[in-house]
Structure 1
């Protein structure tokens, strides 16, 4: 397959990466977010522009540690100061791009690094790039002086990393004093892992170290998969009045770059190797991102489940405790007894039901206000139970979320999630009022018959409704001692009252229906409390389907790569990949300039499987 097909597949990958969201906090989330941003930047800054312009000049990005002499090296390679150097760090903040004037069209627009504004003057910001046309630079090559990878400025470090990802060739500059530092090797190891074309310059080597430092650095390069990368050893020397190194000190570097510019086959090989390595690394990292998306979806599902379980348990507890006799105590019993005159009514229950029906009006001593009080007392007990369980559910949800790293940060940002909402009490009262209205409506509907209507009227609609509530609270589990006898008698009174009015079957239907209405309203109330947790998770926008889209896009890219011909001009470098890190390596070629300016090449550094030199 050619560059067009690969570019199309990579655009699909870019779209899938754009849709990835990792909103939940967690131990590795910051790393995954940075990886996603870096992949999008590399697609925009380098991979897609390079695929669209394979004949564009080779872009060599000069990067490295603070004080390694990058700008001085660039200036010396050009023969004049094009990038400011000095002892105050950082010196390079705005990147400097040097190219042959005949090739300005390649760089004047936003073909590469589209996020950076073009300027013709030096800048101290990180949002622009200075363009410097230079006739002495051979056509087919451009040099970009990047900020320090270990700059004290975070913006500089971020830009340096972005620019290195946009390079066809990394010209990595370090010094004899800094070549073993950890930060440079993080970048170099990353380059080796993705098969990028790299050349390393070890600068400012003192005379005493010329026989030791290059060899040791070559060993480190071999161990980290960079054995095939050229290493240039530049001695410590005095700069001239223009701030330039002796020309002989950089001659091997200049020759290496010039040969890449003029040798189309070598140039195509560098572009193919770097581009193919970048695409391969993208597919691997995108798969990792897809896994991170699924992990986030799993965390979001667990948090949602924890909250739902807490409030489901609350609704279940209300359902059980509203039917196990727990509510048949205290105010409920007192008001019901006031209404029916428990002792006399209970004795009358022993009479025949027909006689009870005939004497129903005479037996009831209760006033309408007492019926209302009995109903209100039943509702009050339910209200307290619901509020208690709603608060307990919020506490359980908060505890469960705090046990999860992501949930812990969410609760810290939204502490109200660990307690019931401010409106719970009022919504509980409203739910009970609505349920009591349901009960009265049931009683009224069931009592539409002429004789039944008279019986309901005799006891009062509110009284009959209260009796139905008492029956719902009927079972005596949870009560002990004298309470059982009192509550049991109370339940019998209510049950017999309802049976005398509606009949056995109708009472069972009424009780079941009223209980279902109660449970439904409690579930709705708990759902309204749960909605705070659901809404927060929904607003975060965790989308597990993004993982499948990303994996499908990765598969499409890999299919194209697998079917490409081996022509470097069509970006096929499958045979040019580095051997695995740690495998036996060839010799590291070290280009060295002696202190007197005489050049020499060392080819004798051979690293075998044991790491020994020969």
Structure 2
């Protein structure tokens, strides 16, 4: 059941069906009139809808007509049980990433379906003789505890003027049925305590088991916390217990029956076709007919005109936590009819059971829809990171091609080398004596380092911009920026500059290797020229970085000779092959770095355990399988 948020406590003094309460102020009759009798929905056969002014039935314990156990909503069905188990496995395996779209709605839907599988459907499929559970629920101060005590015939739950009084649910049953409500069989996650002696409240969040000889075997009454309690845990407990009940007795007051919270719960009963009786309590004599007519009209307008309806007048005839007059006799008579007649008990429990199964046709697909919402969010986030780093890699490809790196320090180093003639001296035309090249001097080495520093800085700054872009795009989806921050995605890893430097250095060595291993060079150049491979590689890198397309201005005789010599020595086709291989190698190395950076975002999504489309498909399949089993 959907657990709505807590409703603020009201300071309004309400009338009394509990001990020691004062008389309320007079209630003005609502302006809405009841629909004509011809438009009211007829009561179904077998359901006793007592009128407010009907003569009271003789007092008798609930279910006193028969102590035989009913057979439950369905006979044990192995295939249905397997399909329900399959659905529980699928639902239990779903996890939602907190904060992301669909998380809150999905967690609520998941908990509701799982609770009804664990607490209602599976126990009744496995055990056909499960006691009929009647949950008394409703508004704050409606007198539910007083009504429960009156129906049982002794005080099993506490009453009082404090609101809310019921700080823990109380379940009254025959001592022979207590084992049905142990931790192993009923709401296993909820701690419980057995009541000894006089009725005493338990602790918040604890179920009190009140064994009473006044209760017949096979029937249990549950006093639940208020559905509109200011304490959120109270109405969450109320919802949990209503999910596990066969019959709801919903109690509201003449002051609160129009509250939105009341109708949220009643509409859940309608949507699930839950067996339902409604009680309007604390009805003053003045305006009584108008109040009850208006309440009946609201029930009919909300599709609940079939529900059994009762009223409890405003009264102070209460002692020992129970009504002293015949105030609750009509309700007791109705429940005795249901609980004491096996056919009626089976009809009530079967109706609720089938209604819950029917509701899964929409509730489980709705859960699947929230799974799909999260899966779509995950795809969007992954795509945002992928686009950010793909754009960054494209920027680097362009920057290493258009000559933009051949400025500043790199340009100064190149001009220094060109003016000194170092590169020219590293190339020697072979004469009669074979001379070894001098190798690169200090100026050429400084140029090599300047190029490495420039490419490294470009990689690091682009990676930083890509991360910022990805986080900014994540910020467009609720909860995603917090996910990014929690996984440190807003800052770069400390070792990224070292990785970038190592990658660029490896690339420079790779270019030297390409120069040395080119077969065409060995065949065509070795007979005429002795050359330094590192010097040739440096010239080639300068060309790859956009020499000739940039604003680099080189002056001096030997400055252009290495560039001319590259083409003359290697040949145009060979030079293109070497250049293409070198450029692709740089792209691949930077791409590998960026893939590692992008993987941080993928790892954050994986750690969030966001459900996927496969999970949604399995939920739909489980729903179809359940329909077939029915």
Q: Hey, what's the Cα distance between the residues in 1 that align with 2:209 and 2:331?
A: 22
CA distance in 2: counterparts of 1:27 and 1:463, whole angstroms: 58
- In 2 relative to 1, CA 123–83 (structure 1 residues): closer, same or farther, beyond 3 Å? closer
CA distance change for structure 1 residues 239 and 280 in 2, over 3 Å: closer, same or farther? same
The number of aligned residues is: 549
Change (3 A) 1:144 1:455: farther
Shift of 1:210: 2.2
2:100–2:477 contact (8 Å) kept in structure 1: no
Report the CA distance between 1:103 and its aligned residue.
3.1
Deviations 1:538-571 (A, max 9, x none): 111223211111110011112223xxxxxxxxxx
TM superposition shift of 1:164:
0.8
The 5 Å alignment of 1:87-236 reads: 87-108=161-182, 110-121=184-195, 122-236=200-314
Aligned to 1:586: none
Query: Among 47, 50, 59, which residue is 2:121 paired with?
Result: 47
Instruction: Please tell me whether the aligned partners of residues 418 and 556 of structure 2 are also in contact (alpha carbons under 8 angstroms).
Output: no
1:435 aligns with 2:486: no
**1:555 maps onto 2:628 in alignment:** no
Give the TM-score of the pair, scaled to structure 2.
Answer: 0.81
1:463 aligned to 2:524?
Answer: no
Structure 1 stretch displaced more, 219-228 or 103-112:
103-112
Shift of 1:67: 0.8
The CA deviation string for residues 507-532 of structure 1, in whole angstroms up to 9 with x for no partner, is 22221111111001110111122121
Q: Distance in 2 between matches of 1:75 and 1:476?
A: 97
| CA distance, structure 2, for counterparts of residue 177 and residue 28 of structure 1 | 36
> What pairs up with 1:456-605 in 2 under 5 angstroms?
458-474=530-546, 476-477=548-549, 479=550, 483=551, 485-486=553-554, 493-542=561-610, 543-561=612-630
User: Helix, strand or coil: the match of 1:114?
Assistant: coil
Give the distance between the partners of 2:466 and 2:399, measured in 1 at CA. Answer: 15
In structure 1, C-alpha distance between the alignment counterparts of 2:622 and 2:344, rounded to whole Å: 31
State which of 5, 20, 34 in structure 1 corresponds to 2:108.
34
1:402 aligns with 2:475: yes
Name 1:583's counterpart in structure 2: none
Distance 1:112 1:179 in 2: 31
Task: Describe the shift of the 1:344–1:441 C-alpha distance in structure 2 as closer, same or farther (beyond 3 A).
Answer: closer
Q: CA deviation at 1:361?
A: 10
Q: CA deviation at 1:123?
A: 4.7
Structure 1 unaligned spans of 5+ = 562-614
Q: Deviations over 1:27-58 (max 9, x none)?
A: 54212211101211111111111122233221
Aligned to 2:328: 250
Q: 1:384 aligns with which of 457, 474, 478?
A: 457
State whether residues 339 and 365 of structure 1, in contact with CA within 8 Å, keep that contact through their aligned partners in structure 2.
no
CA distance in 2, matches of 1:488, 1:37: 80
Cα drift, residue 491 of structure 1:
9.1
Dislocated runs of 4+, deviation >6 Å: 342-346, 359-366, 453-456, 487-491
By how many angstroms is 1:3 displaced? 4.4
Over the aligned positions, Cα root-mean-square deviation in angstroms equals: 3.0
Shift of 1:500: 4.6
Report if the CA contact (8 A) 2:415-2:554 is conserved.
no
What is the CA deviation profile of residues 51-88 of structure 1, one whole-angstrom value per residue up to 9, with x for unaligned ones? 22233221100111111101111111122211011112
Deviation at 1:386, TM superposition (A): 1.5
Change (3 A) 1:175 1:460: same
Mapped partners of 2:409, 2:297: distance in 1? 87
SS at match of 1:231: strand
Q: Conserved in 2, the CA contact under 8 Å of 1:201 and 1:231?
A: yes
- How far apart are 1:299 and its partner, in Å? 1.0
Residue among 67, 78, 82 paired with 1:8:
82
Higher helix share: 1
Q: Which has the larger displacement, 498-507 or 131-140? A: 498-507
1:321 aligns with 399
Deviates more, 1:188-197 or 1:425-434: 425-434
Partner of 1:567: none
Q: Residue in 2 aligned with 1:85?
A: 159
- Match of residue 585 from structure 1: none
Q: Secondary structure at the match of 1:249?
A: coil
SS in 2 for 1:225: coil
Q: Residue 357 of structure 1: CA displacement?
A: 6.5
Query: Could you tell me which residue of structure 1 aligns to residue 68 of structure 2?
Result: none
Q: State how far apart, in whole Å, the 2-side matches of 1:410 and 1:488 are.
A: 57
- Mapped to 1, the partners of 2:555 and 2:302 lie a distance apart of 82
d(CA) in 1 for partners of 2:436, 2:415: 13
Q: Is the 8 A contact 2:101 2:374 kept in 1?
A: no
Q: Partners in 2 of 1:345 and 1:434 — Cα distance?
A: 22
TM-score by length of 1: 0.83
Spell out, residue by residue over 1:70-116, the C-alpha distance to the aligned partner (whole angstroms, 9 max, x if none).
Answer: 11111111222110111123321221111123333433453222222
- Deviation at 1:463? 1.4
How many angstroms apart in 1 are the aligned matches of 2:178 and 2:95? 38
